[in-house]
Amino acid sequence: MSRVTARRKTRRISPNGVIERPDSVAVEEPLELRLDGQSLTVTMRTPGSDFELVHGFLLGEGIIQTAEDVVSARYCAGTDENGQNTYNVLDVHLRTPIPVHGRNFLTTGACGLCGKTALEEVRTRTRFPLPTTSITVDTETLAAMPDQLRIRQTVFDATGGLHAAGLFTTDGTALAVREDIGRHNAVDKVLGWAVLENRIPANDLVLIVSGRASFELVQKAVMAGIPMLGAVSAPSSLAIDLAAESGLTLVGFLRGDTMNIYSRSDRLTITDEVAAY
């Protein structure tokens, strides 16, 4: 599919005057996820890497652990006004079926609940507890990862409207980078890549996100067994609490030569080129 971007009319006002011209914008469309024909959820996403998105979502919700838990995943028939398949409905057949109706999602479970309840739910449902000792990354290498993420954001260059997430090795090698209109979808896509590549639990990888670190993104990292999450922007209070309780290294404001380390700083080796606060 190539409908990641679309063209829309715009009137641009600048010191040079008013110019009417088409503008490239990111596409946003619904994706309905079905389990054995029953609707599980609908998410608004940028089309592309849908199978990774679904695998990552199911991993984050504790529904699957490996790619072998999914027997098949296919697009269902769904047509637009021209009779063309919309590719907006994916049906997944699980090796072990689960009840769909009344299911409570982790990604939305914190809404309306106290922080303690949200933290306990993630801790009790994750199948990949983070190891006490695992990776070590030097801060200079970590500080370079957002730039490596950024240069791979090809759709962002065209539209300026997408989030990105990437999985990196401890030496700074980018293994997978995905973009999406939703920051949680971008993370699900790279986690889905890890599922399909048999890299879960990802105890040896670093997750980098282009925006802020919310509770939801920390939850997804913990559910995948990822020991370190770096965000270009700020974390939330509940994200910090979950990272600390789960043993995840959480780094925010990862920009240029500075960063804020909020939990498990022992996994970072501070180099002279980077100032950590």
Pair 230, 251: CB distance under 8 Å: yes
Residue 247, both tokens: 């043993």
What DSSP string runs through 206-245?
A: EEEESS-B-HHHHHHHHHTT--EEEESSPBPHHHHHHHHH
**Does the annotation count 114 as an active-site position?**
no
Q: What are phi and psi of 238, to 5 degrees?
A: -70, -30
Cα–Cα distance, 206 to 208 (Å, whole number) = 6
Catalytic residue among 6, 44, 71, 111: 111
Are the C-beta atoms of residues 97 and 73 closer than 8 Å to each other?
no
Question: DSSP assignment, residue 274?
Answer: -
Closest alpha carbon to 130 in 272, 230, 254, 249: 249
Residues 6+ apart with CB under 8 A from 31: 42, 43, 44, 45, 47, 50, 53, 54, 88, 89, 90
Phi, psi values for residue 137, rounded to 5°: -130, 135
Residues designated as active site: 111
